[in-house]
Structure 1
Amino acid sequence: MRTLIIGGVAGGMSAATRLRRLDESAEIVVFERGPYVSFANCGLPYYVGGIIEDRNSLLLQTPTSLAARFRLDVRVNEEVIRIDRGAKTVLVSNVLDGTSTAESYDVLILAAGATTGPALSGHGVPVRTLRTVDDVDAITSVLDDLGTGARAVVVGAGFIGLEAVENLVARGVHVTLVQRGPLPLSPLDPEMASPVLEALLDHGVDVRVNSTVADVRAGQVQLDDGSVIKTDLIIEARGVRPDTNLARSAGVTVGATGGITVDEYQRTSDPSIYAVGDAVEKTDAIDAAATLVTMAGLANRHGRTAADAIAGIAEPSVPALGTAIVGLFGLTVAMVGWSETRLVASGRPHRVVHTHPSSHAGYYPGAEQMSMKLLIDPETEALLGAQIVGGAGVDKRIDVIATAMAGGLTASQLSRLELAYAPQFGSAKDAVNMAGYVADNLATGATRSIQWHELDDAMGAGATLIDVRSVDEFSRGALPGAVSLPLDEIRTRVSELPDGPLVVHCQVGQRGHTAARLLTQLGRDVRNLDGGYRTWLAGMSATGTTAATNPSLAHV
């Protein structure tokens, strides 16, 4: 059995090494068009920023080490330029000298990954992506030559763009971030993206949203609004698209998403050809539709799946949740599943829960606050997605929720998870448990909630907004139109409340829930503002709407 693998790094090398462990007799040849076949591409930005000091630590394996340990025939600087499915051969071109050879295969694995869109033309300004070792070598060389006072423009505020910004700032570079959409990290909902924007601004980043690059020339970038930005370097981070050129030219089916169509064993429309990695369609765990998810973890997993299938021990791939995480200036941003924005766009019914728990017990030093958001199917209580933004503890909470989603747990069942507790690690009611309690209250009808973006319509329809925080909290900032009635005074002053529907709120939602339960039992029509003042403020900030007032104390 002769297996040829086109592309190394995550998907290709995972397939190659797994196949060798399963079949010592197989002939396995890996073609990589670049000089490096196995490197830590997710670590590249951190070498630019000096966090990772040793460049060699990014080079995980070499052709020599892979030959010694796995008996792999790894050929770098060799690009496959054509597939002949009928003859079961590929045409390989040496990128250094232009010579070409034909290689036969019994099985072919496509692991070409993704490619960037049309490149910006630099006109004298260096333009680089952050996808290869050559990229970081070029970027660090430019920055070393410039020394202090260097300027860079990062185009695109996705995961790679934000990592580029953070690490350029760490090197003392003045950074301008250009984002086509209204907020950085577009998979986040607006109120969850607000802290990301705040972190960028707090660290001196010049953020240009709703903007695109119109022209680059003579050491400057011109945006579509006519503004001009001086720069010494441009980082192209506008996202990627599947590299399907070989598959298309060979007649292998490419789906509507633009990715290569595969079955649950990573087989393409040609049973002798498998495909793994960023160029391949995945099955979405929420709606079972074809989707694109460009994550190293999935590439590794699907490389293994392909190898298993080739070796005759096939186990199907599982649908993709799209679990992701990124760090930015001490802020941790994580997500899994669908956003509210995506659910609304698809017309899918959903329920929303916002909480603002601490990373560990509040009485233990160093606790950091998180903002958590759950998206829930209102009929089945299935978890549709989650977003968490904060400091310490975000990573483990998103992993718990991703695991719960993979295991089919409902939102309410999060409240019953038995999670590890000690004061320095969590709370007796963990952040995940608390989100589950809120979800359970909504599912059972113990409380009713309203979202930050629904508040204006509710008040326009006649609802009275009651702030149940302390008078001191109210005096430091309040929602427009809110009146102050502290929680501890409600029982004795309930007769002062006006007739009609009420919306109550506190800082993060917990006291609001208590107030809503009390008023409901006293016969009032009441809803709690989900996530409280903190969520509302983040949402208003993200959308550029009027923020809170500093009242001269309006009381019931």
Structure 2
Amino acid sequence: MDIIVIGAVAGGATVSSQLRRFLPDARITVIGKDSRMGFATCGMPYVLGGLVDSMDSLVSVTPEQFWDKKSIDVRLRHEALEIDRRSRSVLVRNIVTGETETLHYDKLVLSPGGSARNPEIPGSPSIPIFTLRHFGDMVNFEDYLESEKPRRGLVIGGGFIGVELAENFRSLGIITDLIEHNGRIMPIADPDMSGLLEEEMEKNGVTLHLGKEVCSVDSGTVSLDDGTEIEVDFIAAAVGLEPNTRLAEEAGLGIGPTGGIETDPFMRTSDPDIYAIGDAAEGRDWFTGKPKRVPLAWAAHRQAFIAAGHIAGGTTEMDGLLGTSITKLFSLTAGMTGLSEKMLDEENMRYETIVHESRSNAGYYPDNGKLRLKIHYDPDTRAILGAQAVGEKGADKRIDIIATAIRGRLTMDDLAAIEIAYSPAYSSPKDPVNMAGYKSMDRPGQ
């Protein structure tokens, strides 16, 4: 069997490796536009901030290793130009030499990822504007920071990448402003949880401009729509990504309402011989079953396993996405899983909410921190619909427990009954997860 994988980062590297495990005799070819494969895109902000010493440490594997250990042919700096579904072939171009080649496939896996959105910046900026998506983006950005040693920087976008970049710029001593056109940072979270993160950013010297837009850039002066002017040496744009669906669209594959490539529970596209995974693939929401696209690493790796397994004859399905996520922001950690207030309201779903504020572990133990845990649940079935946690310690543990509880279809009453490991260094006799369950009960045995 001839299998071609388009894309060589998280999804592409993982699916090809899984395919080799399931199909030892298949001929597998991976096509990647970047200069590296399998690199950890999530680690890029921490390379720029110096927390990760070397950008090469983000690269987990090389094409030579893939060939030597797995007999997988990885072709970097190559681009898939066209898919011919009738002849089951892909036209591939060597970006370095310009030479083209037509490769045959029996099964094709699309893992093209996404491209960073470039914000519309009116005016005549004469300062560098960076995005952070590909390995080369990080190389260019790090070279600039090391050679120019800028004094002031502007981040456009207050999502995951934006807030992480702001933190890392501050660690370099760069005076940092952040603009978010929504009225708050991390708009995926509930407003009260975003507010905690805003306080943390301001406390650490990040100047926030919320609900604002860039009006113009003249040389190094950025003017906002409220009249504010900011002097900056560079701009880091983190305004989201666009799924790379050109190949799929030109091949006539279905594109869903989220802008991603339509897939079934086995990650097959509208062509049963073509699969799609990762940032460009559209899945389904765990609760509603509606189309949902989660451009995060966990989803890509899980989808890779599902697709590879199905190509090999397996029947495991991708049964829904919770969108579980987490980020570090100075002294705080913020995590979430499932549906937020906004999502629940948009779906017209009835819900009630429990908020529990406590220490992460025993208050008398020296190493403890503040923790705010918020859980939405169905008042009739008491099913858990979503949770968020922000704290100095332990937010990750609680979100992971609740994500597991949702997949296990546990209720708020079950949260009270989970026997969570206790020691003063790690928890409390009644963990915050337990306490949230207890607080949701009107009476014993509810």
Write the mapping of 1:535-546 to structure 2, written as runs, cut at 5 A: none
Aligned to 1:128: 130
Aligned to 1:35: 35
Q: 1:160, 1:294 → 2: CA distance?
A: 12
Per-residue deviation, 1:211: 1.2
Aligned to 2:275: 274
Per-residue deviation, 1:342: 1.9
Per-residue deviation, 1:162: 0.8
Aligned to 1:550: none
Asked if 2 retains the 8 angstrom alpha-carbon contact of 1:89 and 1:104, the reply is yes
Aligned to 1:422: 423
Q: 2:82, 2:226 → 1: CA distance?
A: 43
Alignment CA distance shift 1:104-1:216 (3 Å): farther
Look up the SS of the partner of 1:357 in the other structure: strand
CA RMSD in angstroms comes to 1.5
Structure 2 residue 169 is matched with structure 1 residue 165:
no
Write the mapping of 1:212-361 to structure 2, written as runs, cut at 5 A: 212-361=213-362
**Percent identity, aligned pairs only?**
38
Asked if 1 retains the 8 angstrom alpha-carbon contact of 2:154 and 2:232, the reply is yes
Aligned to 2:4: 4
Q: CA-to-partner distance for each residue in 1:462-512, whole Å, 9 max, x for gaps? A: xxxxxxxxxxxxxxxxxxxxxxxxxxxxxxxxxxxxxxxxxxxxxxxxxxx
Per-residue deviation, 1:281: 0.9
Structure 2 residue 409 is matched with structure 1 residue 408:
yes
Aligned to 2:143: 141
Aligned to 1:98: 98
Q: 2:203, 2:118 → 1: CA distance?
A: 32
List gaps (5 residues or longer) in structure 1.
Answer: 446-556
Aligned to 1:523: none
Aligned to 2:67: 67
Structure 2 residue 21 is matched with structure 1 residue 21:
yes
**TM-score using structure 1 length:** 0.78
Look up the SS of the partner of 2:376 in the other structure: strand
Alignment CA distance shift 1:34-1:120 (3 Å): farther
Q: CA-to-partner distance for each residue in 1:254-313, whole Å, 9 max, x for gaps? A: 111111111111100001100000111111012111111111011011111111111112
Look up the SS of the partner of 2:200 in the other structure: helix
Alignment CA distance shift 1:338-1:442 (3 Å): farther
Per-residue deviation, 1:417: 0.4
Per-residue deviation, 1:120: 4.4
Q: 1:267, 1:443 → 2: CA distance?
A: 47
Look up the SS of the partner of 2:125 in the other structure: coil
Look up the SS of the partner of 2:328 in the other structure: strand
Per-residue deviation, 1:136: 1.6
Q: 1:442, 1:387 → 2: CA distance?
A: 25
Look up the SS of the partner of 1:91 in the other structure: strand
Letter in 2 for 1:73: D
Q: CA-to-partner distance for each residue in 1:531-551, whole Å, 9 max, x for gaps? A: xxxxxxxxxxxxxxxxxxxxx
Asked if 1 retains the 8 angstrom alpha-carbon contact of 2:285 and 2:291, the reply is yes
Aligned to 2:440: 439
List gaps (5 residues or longer) in structure 2.
Answer: none
Per-residue deviation, 1:129: 1.5
Asked if 2 retains the 8 angstrom alpha-carbon contact of 1:178 and 1:208, the reply is yes
Asked if 2 retains the 8 angstrom alpha-carbon contact of 1:154 and 1:178, the reply is yes
Per-residue deviation, 1:8: 1.2
Per-residue deviation, 1:442: 7.5
**TM-score using structure 2 length:** 0.97
Aligned to 2:88: 88
Per-residue deviation, 1:378: 0.9
Letter in 2 for 1:124: S
Asked if 2 retains the 8 angstrom alpha-carbon contact of 1:143 and 1:150, the reply is no
Letter in 1 for 2:73: D
Write the mapping of 1:501-516 to structure 2, written as runs, cut at 5 A: none
Letter in 2 for 1:146: E
Asked if 1 retains the 8 angstrom alpha-carbon contact of 2:16 and 2:72, the reply is yes
Q: 2:218, 2:273 → 1: CA distance?
A: 48
Q: CA-to-partner distance for each residue in 1:394-417, whole Å, 9 max, x for gaps? A: 111100000000100001210000
Q: Which has the higher contact order (CA 8 A, sep 6+)?
A: 2
Q: 2:310, 2:383 → 1: CA distance?
A: 31
Flag the structure with higher strand content.
Answer: 2
Q: CA-to-partner distance for each residue in 1:26-48, whole Å, 9 max, x for gaps? A: 10000001111111111111111
Letter in 2 for 1:132: H
Q: 1:68, 1:164 → 2: CA distance?
A: 37
Letter in 2 for 1:246: L
Per-residue deviation, 1:223: 2.1
Alignment CA distance shift 1:152-1:261 (3 Å): same
Alignment CA distance shift 1:443-1:289 (3 Å): farther
Alignment CA distance shift 1:332-1:443 (3 Å): farther
- Most deviating of 262-271 and 344-353: 344-353
Alignment CA distance shift 1:103-1:378 (3 Å): same
Q: 2:79, 2:253 → 1: CA distance?
A: 19
Asked if 1 retains the 8 angstrom alpha-carbon contact of 2:116 and 2:133, the reply is no
Letter in 1 for 2:406: M
Aligned to 1:468: none
Per-residue deviation, 1:119: 4.6
Q: 1:299, 1:372 → 2: CA distance?
A: 27
Structure 2 residue 56 is matched with structure 1 residue 56:
yes
Asked if 1 retains the 8 angstrom alpha-carbon contact of 2:340 and 2:387, the reply is yes
Per-residue deviation, 1:444: 7.3
Asked if 1 retains the 8 angstrom alpha-carbon contact of 2:264 and 2:283, the reply is no
Q: 1:96, 1:65 → 2: CA distance?
A: 22
Q: 1:119, 1:439 → 2: CA distance?
A: 44
Per-residue deviation, 1:215: 2.6
Alignment CA distance shift 1:343-1:65 (3 Å): same
Asked if 2 retains the 8 angstrom alpha-carbon contact of 1:378 and 1:443, the reply is no
Letter in 1 for 2:44: L
Q: 2:322, 2:202 → 1: CA distance?
A: 31
Look up the SS of the partner of 2:31 in the other structure: strand
Aligned to 1:510: none
Asked if 2 retains the 8 angstrom alpha-carbon contact of 1:360 and 1:425, the reply is yes
Aligned to 2:367: 366
Q: 1:58, 1:342 → 2: CA distance?
A: 34
